[in-house]
Structure 1
C-alpha cells in the first residue's frame, strides 16, 4: 500500500498492515485462524473480521477476544474506525 495518505489536506504516514487470508472458513478453519492470530497477538491492536457468515464470524471474534485477549471487531458497512 501507500506509505502515506492525505487526510484533510495533511500527509499522514501509514503505520498499519493489512493481511488477507484466502480459502479459510471462519467456522471450519477456526482453529487454524486462531493459531494464525496467536502468533501475531503481541503486535496486534485489533483484528477485523470482514468475511464469512454472521454466526461463524461472531464465534471467531469471540474466541479471539476470550482466548487471545485481542480486540476483535466485525465492522458494519459504512462504519469508520480510528486505527492510529
Structure 2
C-alpha cells in the first residue's frame, strides 16, 4: 500500500490536556479545520468532546469505534 501524506508537528500540545485546553486548541485551529477525529481517551469523554466540537465550532467531529475505517480524503 502506497501512502502519500505529510507530517505536521504541533508545539505546545500535550497528550494530557484537559477539556478546556482541548477546546481552546480547536478554537485556535478552527479557521483551517475541515474535520476533527477524537481518537484517544475514555469513550464517553471522547464522544462528549467530539459532540461539543460539532456544536460549538460547527466543525465535523467524530469519535471512531475500535477498528473503524476512516476515509481521510
* TM-score for both structures, normalised by structure 1: 0.68
Report the structure number with the largest CA radius of gyration: 1
User: Equivalent of 1:62, from 51, 64, 69?
Assistant: 51
User: Equivalent of 1:22, from 15, 19, 36?
Assistant: 15
Q: How far is the alpha carbon of 1:65 from its aligned partner?
A: 0.3
For residues 23-52 of structure 1, what are the alpha-carbon distances to aligned partners after superposition, in whole Å with 9 as ceiling and x for unaligned?
Answer: 12xxxx111111100111121111111111
Instruction: Could you tell me which runs of 5 or more consecutive residues in structure 2 were left unpaired when the two chains were aligned.
Output: none
Q: Does 1:83 align with 2:68?
A: no
Select the structure that is richer in strand: 1
Number of corresponding residues: 71
Select the structure that is richer in helix: 2
What is the CA–CA distance in structure 2 between the aligned matches of 1:44 and 1:74, rounded to whole Å?
Answer: 16
CA RMSD in angstroms comes to 2.3
Instruction: Could you tell me which runs of 5 or more consecutive residues in structure 1 were left unpaired when the two chains were aligned.
Output: 7-11
* TM-score for both structures, normalised by structure 2: 0.77
> What residue in structure 2 maps to residue 73 of structure 1?
62
Runs of 4+ in 1 over 6 A off after TM superposition: none
